[in-house]
Structure formats: structure tokens, C-alpha cells
Structure 1
Amino acid sequence: MCGRFTMALDAERLQMKLDLASMPEPWAKRYNIAPSQYIPTVPFAESRHVVYMRWGLVPFWAQDPAIGNRMINARAETVAEKPSFRSSFKNKHCLILADGFYEWQKASEGKSSQPYYFTLKTREPFAFAGLWDDWEPKGVSSEPGIPGLTTCTLITTTANRVVAPVHPRMPVILTKERMWEWLTAKTETEKLALLKPLEPELMQAWPVGREVNSPAIDDESLIHPIDAMNQSIKQEQLL
């Protein structure tokens, strides 16, 4: 599962680096993006406009939007068949813009899990492969005033050798050179071919403080490395 990530570039720099047409307002650097928050996405390759969507997919057919709380990730192995995602997999792909993500290494009983921060060695921004959908309240019994939602989920795959010592899954990372293919792929074969672990030699990782456990904390200090001497996993394993 990927449940936290970062987008720590200012809007102008991100727009330039990824060749984006426009950026949403307001914009702020983010160091602890969490589920149910609104996150930057690109749903259409033709326009390349960045729009906010709520993280946690609510399928168009859902009766209760609370289902989105359980739909923050979709597994690459089953995304084409699972009822919650198969409609979006056919024709509603999106890019979820990021420059890093967190995963937690399970600790022995009685100890807290250790968070790690993962990013590209170049520190360049990238995109997660995502899916999106529109949802509207249904039925005459729907509570008045409930607005429609545009929501998304990010796709995960098996971990590469950088992520695997910490967690068995990782998000599907698309670098600038490949990310637009996710929005233009036509056949299921083309789509599934993109849902692979990123080459490990492109990534780096380090342990960070447990302050990231709280979504209320969102500042640059969260991505600063801590001393790994007493951790069960050594920093050199992640390079």
C-alpha cells in the first residue's frame, strides 16, 4: 500500500519540468499528502491541465462515497478485472504528480514501524499511474446538498529491490519520458505493460522521523534523513 507521498516543487518549476499546460490554484508545496485529501492530477494528455481530485476512488455506481476511504490503491495484477476499478481502467487514466513517497518497515512486536522516504536519485518530479472517476449522489433519498466528487486512486505493483526491504508493494512510477503513454495507451496489453516496478537503479531511499505518521504535520523536515545506525535495514541496501 502507498498511503503518503510528497509534491515539494513550486507550481512554476513543476509546470516547466513536466511540460504541463496549467496549474491549479491555490498551490502549496506538500510533504505529507494523505488519503481523502485533494491531490494534483492530469487526466487528459491533450490538454495537460493539472486538476485536483480527491484521493480515494469512488466508483460512479457507488451508493455511499465513503467507499473511497478503502480505494486509495489499486493492484496492477487485478486492476483490469476488479469491479471497483475495471471501468476506470478502460478509459479514465490519470497521472498523479509526485516527487517522492513514504513506506513503513514493520518492526518487531512492541516497537513502532520505521518510515522511509523514496525518491528518484535525480530528485526530479514524476507521476504515479492512476485512475479516476466521477460520482454523483443517487436516488430521491440522497441527502440534499451533497456535491458530486471527482476522485482517484494510484496503482501499485510488486516492489523493486530498493523498496522490497521495507515493503512488498510500491506505486507504479512513471518518469517524464514515459508518463504520457499512460494517458494515451489504447489496448489492455499496452496499459498493463506500463504497470511495472521502476528500475531500481533510478531510485534512492532513507529512513525519516516518525513525525510523518501524523497527516497534520506537513513540512520539509519530514523528508530529512535520520541516523540509520540502529535500524534493522542499512542505508546502503536502499541505494
Structure 2
Amino acid sequence: MAESGAPTQRESMADRIYQALKEDIFEFRLIPGDKFSESDIAQRLSASRTPVREALYRLEREGYVDVLFRSGWQIRQLDFKQIEELYDLRITLERAAMHKICRLDKPPPALRLLNDIWNPDAPSERAFGSTVRALDESFHCELVAAAGNDEMTQVHQRITDRLRIVRRLDFTRPDRIDATYREHAEILQALIANNPGEAAEKMTAHIRTSQEAVKGISLERIREVSQQHRRREPGCP
């Protein structure tokens, strides 16, 4: 019995390490360019190297870290050209979804449900923090899914997964949360009015504004953490 349970236990530890490292990357406790060894992580997280290695290879497959020949691991640099290309593709898919939704025989139930979320009766009913981040991602994914094209939905989900590391920064400032509520409500109003052109244009403007915001916030966070790291180095004032 002990032997049959060993792989599951190891996988569980690898999952916990994976989540811990991913959170460190998302919160910029580990910043692009940081280098470390498997032993460093194993010691910090009180784990053996095997589940650490499994977690790191999973993060590598997802594009968060790179393995360095004979010198450990490194947090992958943010590739803003690639990020821009992913945003371009995301806009293409979401614009297409606006038109497909308006060509359906009847409005999908998602529109009413999303409208209840993004048009609250009072500002006090708004979400905040990690909840609004999750709701934002769900808003975009559910609208694409409502268009009824499974292949489009799967491609959009993969793009969403790859952009999550930067998109989540869009909700660290109150003004960006306010803008998200306002812009989501306007997109939904255009869809409910069966105006696909207006919905597509508002969606494009919404995504582009968010894209510029998260790029600026990302660079600012990286600079701040880099300065903190330098101040902690021996010999620094």
C-alpha cells in the first residue's frame, strides 16, 4: 500500500511547489532574469529535489522558466513582442465572437448573467482583488464560449493562460477596476442591443487600454523589485 501511494504523494508535493513558485513569479518575488538552482528551491520549500524538478519542468513547458545548461534555472524574461502578438490574436478572436453572438437565433444566457455582475445596483456590490481578476477573465472567456465555436474557445483559453501573468496586474489600481466595470458594461449593452460593430469596437478599445496599462505596471514592478534586490546586496548603502 505504501508503494502504491508514493507517486501520488510525490505528485502532490510537486503540485504544491509548482503553485508556490508560480505565485512567486506572479507576485514578482521572483523577477524575470532571476537565476536559482533546484537545491535553492528545495531548501527554501523544505522539499526534496525530485518534486522540485518536476514542478520546474512543468513551469518550463508553460513558458515561465528556462533551464540553463550546467547552471540551474532562470525566470524567463517578459517578451513584450510575443505578448503584443498574443493580444493581437486575442482581439481577433473576441471581435469575431461579438459578431457570432449577434448572429445567434436568440441571446445566450451568458449575457444576462454577465450583465448582472458588471452592472451592479451599487458600487459597494463590486468585487475587488483576486475576485475581480477572476471575474474579468471569466467575462472574456464566457463571451467567446457563448459564440458557440469550440475551436475558437480552446484557442482563446490557451491565449488567456499565457497572458495571465501580465493581465492580473491590471487590477492592482482602483482606477483600472473602475474602468473595467464601465467598459464591460458598455460591451454588454452593445451586445444586448444586437449591435456587433459597436461591441467589437468597444472590446478592441478595452483590450488595448488594458494591454498598455499592464505593460507599464509590469515594467514598474520589475524596476521596483530590482532596486530592492540591489539594496539587499552586500556593500550597498
Scaled by the length of structure 2, the TM-score of the pair is 0.23
Which is greater in Rg? 2
Normalised TM-score (structure 1): 0.23
The structure with more helix, counted as a fraction of residues: 2
